[in-house]
Amino acid sequence: MKRILVIHGPNLNLLGQRETEIYGKVTLVEINSELNKIAAAQGVSLEVIQSNHEGDIVDAIGHASDKNIDAILINPAAYTHTSVAIRDAVSAVKVPTVEVHLSNIYKREDFRQKSLIAPATYGQITGLGVDSYKLGLQALINLIKV
The pLDDT tens digits of the residues spanning 76-96 come to 999 999 999 999 999 999 999
DSSP assignment letter at 54: H
Select from 49, 117, 55, 110 the least CA-distant residue to 80.
117
Which are the catalytic amino acids?
Answer: 23, 101
Alpha carbon distance 81, 94 (integer Å): 21
Alpha carbon distance 129, 122 (integer Å): 20
Strand 123-126 with 44-50, pairing = unpaired
Q: In this prediction, what percent of the chain has a pLDDT beyond 90?
A: 85
pLDDT band at 146 (very low <50, low <70, confident <90, very high): low
Question: What is the value of pTM for the model shown?
Answer: 0.94
Alpha carbon distance 60, 8 (integer Å): 11
In tens, the pLDDT along 48-79 reads 999 999 999 999 999 999 999 999 999 999 99
| E-assigned strand segments in 42-96 | 44-50, 71-75
Residue ranges and CATH numbers for the domains of the chain are 2-144 (3.40.50.9100)
Contacts with 25 (C-beta within 8 Å, 6 or more apart), sequence order: 16
